[in-house]
């Protein structure tokens, strides 16, 4: 049975850097890096290039904006550690697939973002990842934002996103072997 290590914190809190350092300590070159972001514009494309260049060249990178557990099963080839960065973007991808406005993210959503089917689809993804960890002998680091500590988003889609992400994080934390909260680059182990 594998181990799940969940890393939570705000934007630029040091979650990914901490996860990468821990992954390198445990497995050196034997890491599968799973990126959930989609490179839909030039800024994201350049970010992806920069992030990939900063990681060891021996790490295998998989881009999986959806169906992450399935992608991991297909791409994993004996790596001792899997680093999934990040749950935050995965949840956004799934929510926007169903309820995202066509153009402006502040426009009214195209469907009810509070529809329980959306949250259910996110939890199906989360459960598939948990099943993978239970069925393998790898350490999996999952990075996610703690989005519930700030202001309440002023628009419906933002509030639905915060709620769904918060519940997904709770499920992951409940099943995790270790949970860290990062603040200003400092990790605090909370489980």
Direct distance between the N- and C-terminal alpha carbons of the chain, in angstroms, rounded to an integer: 18
* Rounded distance between C-alpha atoms, residue 3 and residue 190, angstroms: 16
Integer CA distances (angstroms), 84 to 21, 127, 142, in order: 14, 14, 5
Nearest CA among 135, 123, 53 for reference residue 87: 123
Q: Are 50 and 108 in contact (CB under 8 A)?
A: no
Catalytic residue among 2, 3, 26, 51, which? 51
* Rounded distance between C-alpha atoms, residue 67 and residue 49, angstroms: 23
Nearest CA among 85, 75, 83, 71 for reference residue 140: 83
51 is catalytic: yes
How many Cβ atoms sit within 10 Å of the Cβ of residue 124?
Answer: 13
* Rounded distance between C-alpha atoms, residue 125 and residue 65, angstroms: 11
Catalytic residues: 51
């Amino acid at each position: 049975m594998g181990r799940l290590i969940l890393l939570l914190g705000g934007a630029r809190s040091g979650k990914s850097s901490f996860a990468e350092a821990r992954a390198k300590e445990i497995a050196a070159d034997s890491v599968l890096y799973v990126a959930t972001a989609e490179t839909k514009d030039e800024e994201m494309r350049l970010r992806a290039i920069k992030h990939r260049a900063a990681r060891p060249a021996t790490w295998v990178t998989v881009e999986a904006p959806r169906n992450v557990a399935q992608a991991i099963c297909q791409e994993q080839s004996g790596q001792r550690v899997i680093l999934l960065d990040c749950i935050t973007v995965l949840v956004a991808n799934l929510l926007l697939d169903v309820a995202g406005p066509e153009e402006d993210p502040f426009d009214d959503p195209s469907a009810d973002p509070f529809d329980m089917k959306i949250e259910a689809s996110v939890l199906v993804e989360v459960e598939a990842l948990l099943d993978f960890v239970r069925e393998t002998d790898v350490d999996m680091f999952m990075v996610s934002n703690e989005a519930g500590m700030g202001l309440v988003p002023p628009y419906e889609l933002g509030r639905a996103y915060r709620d769904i992400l918060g519940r997904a994080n709770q499920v992951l934390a409940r099943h995790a072997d270790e949970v860290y909260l990062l603040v200003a680059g400092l990790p605090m182990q909370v489980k």
